[in-house]
């Protein structure tokens, strides 16, 4: 093979395919200035600063657009080129008022160039236009006097976030940057991802953290503590306070990108109402005590309840907001010391149906695919998930994949943002996924658009499913799910012709009475199209909280110990028990809903709740609060005095995600390091340390000195999954499990050669209507969920300027329904179910279908979960948050008092 080379500034440079001169120069350490070409952005070619001389050409060439070719001789800094660059900068400077930029003390990329070329004032006539600073947004600022119209913000918004907020209006000297049809940043379509801020060379677009210009003395690489995407972040701090958060530029998960929560919503960390010392109940009041008093008190109470009522009178909810190490030690304490399997986590009330379904039909209850499969996918199916709001960085990657040509099928009762990008949108009736997926399976099979070889070699149940769908009526299925037969046929045709497909799914499938079956029948489509285990394809459930995947992995489940090993397996109990020097109880414990019921009935006397606000987040709120009030002992570990903590006998102040060491596991099974960027406030402690100390007070001899010690034991307890996981191997991007030994690189894609269970399993299951589908007197179906600006129960985001972006929960109602009910936008409405009622602000919308309403649950005063009831999936025990029969009443429609 003949070497192909070019020469840049006398340096021989090898030719890389499709590489520009600018990229090649950067690769070999030659700096070519540019203003319009930003990191990870396509060449714009507008600023002309990157002009270079190429031997044999009469005119300078733009390095950002010129491809490096064999034999090229390039000079990047001749006198002629340097003179041109200085002139371009001089002319650019003339469009801005004096004193706008400071070349003597450069703070921006543009000012550094001015300093490099010794430009302090322009030699051209002043061309500055009047400009007004836009300070309407709680995080972002736009100063038109600093804008050089380089278009980086436009390119970043379009090619990274996919939001298309910016454009340039007018021409020539009148040209200016604008954002949509609105006059302010706050009212524009901006989602505050900060991609434009990262890339603006002049600070025309900046943010409140950068404006403060607090010089950090420390940068800490860690994992975001919001959703389950697991973005890597660089946290800047000074004197123990966070000054700025940015996306880690080389991170595999997020590639430097963040959402508004991950980048900006960090003010909660230093909020005035953080818990800073243990609080012990004295009558109606919680009073400060020392840690020694708190640990002595709680250990004595636990032993007393265990002695009087037995170990199963106690239970624990571990936290999906805390670390793997904390969850592991707390479940170990309750199993190995207290002697109960009454252990569960919030995965129960979100993705337990998903995990059970995937484990049943594939052999593991986690994603088969990785986020990198988004860019490889030819067809993406989004079912019951709203990525651009609940998982924004993944949502932006899906947008870009679709803009690059991938087909997109969106299945959701609401017209979510990604429905606007969809090739096919199926707005089904809430809770009818099984009917829809069965209909799609029928169409795929009858049209012959299935991967027969894949099915024969790798899957069981193929002939049974063929017979099952023969008896299904497409028209009846379409009527059940409220989607026209031809639209279902369109979706099936796309899936059959373009597949294998990537199935991105969420709580709209799992939080139903048929949640497990919803995911199983979606997996049917994955197997029929030969998708599971293939690049750019497979099952990708989006996990809600930052460590909900890891929490379940660690054994925070009533029937499974660490690594999904059954407590009913005597071999598991013996092996794990020998490591723990403990006896593991045989009988599976209770799930969260069952423990709540048992607490209400007086069967469970004590609960330990780690970082979960069940009084706000769990269904049938009135029942939950009554159960908490009935407990003899309630211990809560929290950042703030949450709704649940107000019922506690003992509140233990917790270190937050930015204040402790350990690991989180994201939705693609990636175990990543969490590092303390700042110290926790006051006496707040990492959760794992508290579990260790209480266990020792209960009589254990636990000697863990750091989170690393805990992970070492986790690897020994579950070697098939975590045997190769250790802090010294995690690096910046972590490892994806299974990772069975220290030589293993981790697993990007599960089930590649065969299913973990041996063969995949197709499932035949009929649609069964929810009890909420036909309730007399309650004509609307309520869907609950998240919005972009807030996270879960809002404990963190409500204590940040995100509250300005979204000040309250609102009830989305269709225009026709609002007109019929006499409801106007912004008016207050009473909403009632069989289980309770609340009063909310109405938002008249086209996003929901007629007959459906949507309500988020981020604000405690909304009491959204007073409305949701006791309905659960019979297999997973996951509550039904996505279908509740309700009625609406306004002051005009309410009956007068008797």
DSSP string spanning 374-427?
HHH-SEEEEES--HHHHSHHHHHHHHHHHHTT-EEEEE-SS--GGGGG-SEEE-
**pTM of the predicted protein model:** 0.95
CA separation for the pair 502, 510 (Å, rounded): 18
Show contacts of 624-627: CB within 8 Å, 24+ apart.
Answer: 624/596, 624/865, 626/600, 627/596, 627/597, 627/599, 627/600
- Residue pair 854/414 in contact by the 8 Å Cβ criterion: yes
Dihedral, CA of residue 81, residue 82, residue 83 and residue 85, to nearest 10: 90
Q: What is the pLDDT of residue 37?
A: 86
Q: Where are the alpha helices (DSSP H) in 471-546?
A: 474-481, 485-498, 507-510, 515-528
Q: What is the DSSP letter of 879?
A: B
Share the mean pLDDT of the chain.
95
Q: ∠ CA 490-493-494 to the nearest 5 degrees?
A: 90
CA separation for the pair 265, 235 (Å, rounded): 12
Q: What is the pLDDT of residue 522?
A: 98
| Tokens standing for residue 215 | 């010089």
| Ranges of the chain with pLDDT below 70 | 1-3, 181-182, 891-898
Cα radius of gyration (the chain): 29
Q: What is the pLDDT of residue 179?
A: 87
HSE-CB of 533 using CA atoms within 13 angstroms: 19
Which secondary-structure segment (H or E) carries 840? strand 837-845
Q: What is the pLDDT of residue 106?
A: 86
Q: What is the pLDDT of residue 695?
A: 98
Classify residue 420 as exposed, middle or buried by CB count within 10 Å of its CB (0-12, 13-18, 19+).
exposed
CA separation for the pair 642, 636 (Å, rounded): 9
Q: What is the pLDDT of residue 174?
A: 80
Q: What is the pLDDT of residue 2?
A: 55
Give the distance, in angstroms, between the CA of residue 77 and the centroid of all CA atoms in the same chain: 46
List the domains of the chain with CATH numbers. Answer: 5-116 (3.10.20.740), 140-270 (2.20.25.90), 279-349+547-720 (3.40.50.740), 352-541 (3.40.228.10), 771-889 (2.40.40.20)
HSE-CB of 214 using CA atoms within 13 angstroms: 18
DSSP string spanning 304-334?
HHHHHH-GGGEEEEE-SSS-HHHHHHHHHII
Q: What is the pLDDT of residue 896?
A: 44
């Amino acid at each position: 093979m003949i070497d192909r080379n070019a020469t840049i500034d006398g340096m021989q440079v090898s030719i890389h395919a499709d590489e520009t001169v600018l990229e090649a120069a950067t690769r070999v350490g030659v700096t070519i200035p540019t203003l319009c070409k930003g990191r990870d952005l396509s060449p714009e070619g507008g600023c002309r600063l990157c002009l270079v001389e190429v031997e044999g050409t009469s005119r300078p060439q733009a390095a950002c657009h010129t491809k490096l070719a064999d034999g090229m001789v390039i000079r990047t800094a001749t006198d002629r080129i340097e003179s041109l660059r200085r002139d371009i900068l001089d002319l650019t400077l003339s469009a801005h008022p004096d004193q706008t930029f400071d070349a003597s003390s450069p703070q921006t990329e543009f000012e550094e160039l001015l300093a490099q070329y010794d430009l302090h004032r322009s030699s051209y006539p002043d061309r500055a236009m009047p400009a007004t600073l836009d300070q309407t947004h709680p995080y972002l600022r736009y100063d038109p006097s600093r804008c050089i119209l380089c278009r980086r913000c436009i390119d970043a918004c379009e090619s990274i976030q996919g939001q298309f907020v910016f454009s340039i209006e007018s021409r020539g000297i009148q040209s200016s940057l604008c954002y949509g049809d609105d006059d302010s940043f706050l009212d524009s379509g901006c989602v505050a991802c900060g991609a434009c801020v990262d890339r603006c060379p002049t600070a025309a677009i900046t943010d409140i953290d950068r404006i403060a210009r607090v010089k950090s003395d420390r940068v800490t690489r860690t994992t975001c503590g919001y959703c389950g995407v697991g973005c890597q972040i660089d946290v800047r701090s000074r004197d123990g306070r966070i000054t700025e958060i940015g996306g880690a530029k080389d991170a595999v998960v997020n590639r430097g990108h963040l959402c508004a929560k991950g980048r900006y919503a960090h003010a909660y960390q230093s909020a005035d109402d953080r818990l800073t010392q243990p609080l012990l109940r004295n009558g109606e009041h919680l009073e400060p005590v020392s840690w020694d008093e708190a640990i002595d008190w709680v250990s004595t109470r636990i032993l007393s309840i265990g002695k009087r009522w037995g170990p199963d009178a106690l239970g624990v909810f571990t936290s999906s907001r805390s670390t793997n190490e904390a969850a592991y030690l707390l479940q170990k304490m309750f199993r190995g010391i207290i002697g109960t399997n009454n252990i569960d986590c919030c995965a129960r009330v979100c993705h337990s149906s998903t995990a059970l379904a995937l484990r049943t039909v594939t052999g593991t209850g986690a994603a088969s695919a990785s986020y990198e499969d988004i860019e490889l996918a030819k067809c993406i199916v989004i079912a019951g998930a709203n990525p651009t709001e609940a998982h924004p960085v993944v949502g932006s990657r899906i947008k870009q994949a679709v803009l690059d040509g991938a087909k997109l099928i969106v299945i959701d009762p609401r017209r979510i943002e990604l429905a606007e990008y969809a090739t096919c949108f199926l707005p089904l009736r809430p809770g009818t996924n099984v009917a829809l997926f069965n209909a799609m399976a029928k169409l795929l099979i009858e049209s012959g658009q299935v991967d027969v070889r894949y099915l024969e070699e790798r899957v069981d149940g193929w002939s049974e499913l063929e017979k099952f769908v023969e008896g299904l009526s497409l028209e009846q299925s379409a009527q059940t799910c409220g989607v026209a037969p031809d639209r279902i046929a369109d979706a099936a045709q796309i899936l059959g012709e373009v597949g294998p497909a990537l199935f991105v799914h969420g709580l709209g499938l799992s939080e139903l009475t048929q949640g497990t079956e919803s995911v199983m029948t979606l997996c049917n489509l994955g197997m029929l199209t030969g998708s599971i285990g293939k690049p750019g394809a497979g099952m990708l459930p989006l996990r809600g909280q930052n460590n909900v995947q890891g929490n379940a992995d660690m054994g925070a489940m009533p029937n499974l110990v660490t690594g999904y090993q059954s407590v009913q397996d005597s071999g598991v109990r013996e092996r794990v028990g020998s490591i723990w020097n403990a006896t593991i109880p045989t009988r599976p414990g209770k799930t969260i809903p069952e423990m709540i019921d048992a607490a209400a009935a007086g069967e469970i006397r004590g609960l330990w709740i780690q970082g979960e606000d069940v009084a706000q987040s769990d269904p049938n709120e009135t029942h939950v609060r009554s159960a908490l009030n009935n407990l003899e002992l309630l211990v809560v570990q929290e950042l703030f005095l949450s709704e649940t903590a107000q019922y506690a006998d003992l509140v233990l102040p917790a270190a937050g995600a930015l204040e402790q060491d350990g690991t989180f596991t994201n939705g693609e099974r990636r175990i990543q390091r969490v590092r303390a960027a700042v110290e926790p406030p006051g006496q707040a402690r990492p959760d794992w340390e508290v579990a260790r100390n209480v266990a020792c007070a209960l009589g254990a001899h636990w000697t863990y000195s750091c989170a690393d010690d805990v992970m070492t034991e986790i690897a020994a307890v579950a070697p098939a999954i975590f045997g190769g996981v250790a802090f010294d191997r995690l690096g910046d991007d972590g490892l994806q499990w299974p990772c069975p030994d220290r030589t293993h690189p981790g697993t990007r894609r599960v089930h590649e050669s065969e299913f973990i269970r041996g063969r995949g399993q197709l499932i035949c299951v009929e649609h069964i209507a929810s009890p909420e589908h036909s309730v007399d007197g309650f004509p609307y179906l309520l869907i609950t969920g998240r919005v972009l600006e807030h996270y879960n129960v809002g404990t963190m985001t409500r204590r940040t300027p995100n509250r300005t972006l979204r000040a309250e929960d609102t009830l989305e109602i269709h225009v026709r329904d609002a007109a019929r009910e006499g409801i106007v936008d912004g008016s207050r409405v009473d909403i009632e179910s069989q289980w309770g009622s609340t009063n909310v602000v109405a938002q008249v919308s086209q996003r929901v279908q007629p007959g459906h309403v949507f309500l988020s649950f981020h604000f405690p005063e909304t009491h959204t979960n007073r409305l949701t009831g006791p309905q659960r999936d019979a297999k997973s025990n996951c509550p039904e948050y996505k279908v509740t029969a309700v009625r609406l009443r306004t002051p005009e429609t309410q009956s007068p008092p008797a």
